[in-house]
């Protein structure tokens, strides 16, 4: 049983799926690399607060909602049997959740502590003496204890900070982001989700649904840009995070498509053996 495509893409069907994916992802990654030349923004501006809201769209509070919306877009296409719709919905949502959660845990508890790279804003604050006499450098900040201890220190020190001036939302974001910097979890998570949806959309969807999934890498690019703009990551952090996210997204796509086809094919064969007729 082949995948059910919403609208036969005509001439686009002659272009291999991998090439169509590459046509989107390669330019997006080139633009991610442009983060090395992003200008600084005023962190006490309304624009900076808008950037915080953008970066928060890829947090663990929002990603489950995005995954659910993505599943709805995928399974709402016409022409699916009830079984196929149910299988796709469950497999896609579970695979997205496990993939995103797995990479987040590995990134946060294995990779980042192993690299041990401090966030650029923490380095700036420590070098300026803004973290107090007991925290003379960034290494001392990370030796304080867990994230909650570090957040409490920042909550005490940042209200007294004059340079750089921080808008309220930016200040809260700096207080929240006290882990290590490499690679960027936001860039990894957003690009993983966007790449999964891009590949599934090009494989299964047509029309407006496919246009939505094709636009998601642009959202992930904006999330990647938001990290160095807020000075909580370096361009290298988001460049590596985005590349890892693309690779993981493609891997999740391959697994999802294989599982869906295997489950639906086995179900069709079981129905045929019972009824004696093709389903």
Given the residues 109, 116, 173, 186, the one annotated as active site: 186
276: exposed, middle or buried (Cβ count in 10 Å: 0-12, 13-18, 19+): exposed
> Of these residues, 109, 116, 173, 233, which one is catalytic?
233
Find out whether 157 and 131 touch, Cβ atoms under 8 Å.
yes
* Three-state DSSP state, 261: helix
173 is catalytic: no
The runs of H, that is alpha helices, within 144-234 are 147-157, 168-176, 185-204, 207-229
Cα angle 107, 227, 148 (rounded to 5 degrees) comes to 60
Residue with tokens 């995005």: 66
Q: What is the DSSP letter of 179?
A: S
| Nearest by Cα to 230 from 95, 29, 68, 35 | 35
Closest CA to 95 of 6, 5, 200: 200
Q: Active-site positions?
A: 186, 233
């Amino acid at each position: 049983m082949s995948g059910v495509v919403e609208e036969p893409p005509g001439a686009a069907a002659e272009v291999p799926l991998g090439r169509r994916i590459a046509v989107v992802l390669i330019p997006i990654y080139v633009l991610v690399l442009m983060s090395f030349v992003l200008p600084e923004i005023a962190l006490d501006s309304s624009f900076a607060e808008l950037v915080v809201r953008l970066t928060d769209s890829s947090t663990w509070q929002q990603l489950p909602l995005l995954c659910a919306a993505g599943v709805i877009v995928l399974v709402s296409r016409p022409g699916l049997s009830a079984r196929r719709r149910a299988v796709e919905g469950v497999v896609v949502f579970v695979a997205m959740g496990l993939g995103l959660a797995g990479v987040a845990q590995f990134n946060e508890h294995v990779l980042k502590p192993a690299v041990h790279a401090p966030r650029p804003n923490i380095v700036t604050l420590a070098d300026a003496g803004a973290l107090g006499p007991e925290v003379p450098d960034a290494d001392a900040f990370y030796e304080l204890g867990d994230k909650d201890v570090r957040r409490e220190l920042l909550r005490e020190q940042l209200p007294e900070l004059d340079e750089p001036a921080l808008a309220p939302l930016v200040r809260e974001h700096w207080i929240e982001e006290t882990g290590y910097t490499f690679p960027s979890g936001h860039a990894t998570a957003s690009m993983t989700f966007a790449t999964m949806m891009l590949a599934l959309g090009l494989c299964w969807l047509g029309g407006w649904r496919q246009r939505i999934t094709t636009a998601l890498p642009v959202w992930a690019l904006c999330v990647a840009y938001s990290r160095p703009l807020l000075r909580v990551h370096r361009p290298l952090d988001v460049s590596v995070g985005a590349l890892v996210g693309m690779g993981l997204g493609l891997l999740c796509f391959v697994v999802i498509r294989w599982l869906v086809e295997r489950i639906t094919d086995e179900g069709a064969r079981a129905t045929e053996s019972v009824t004696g007729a093709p389903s």
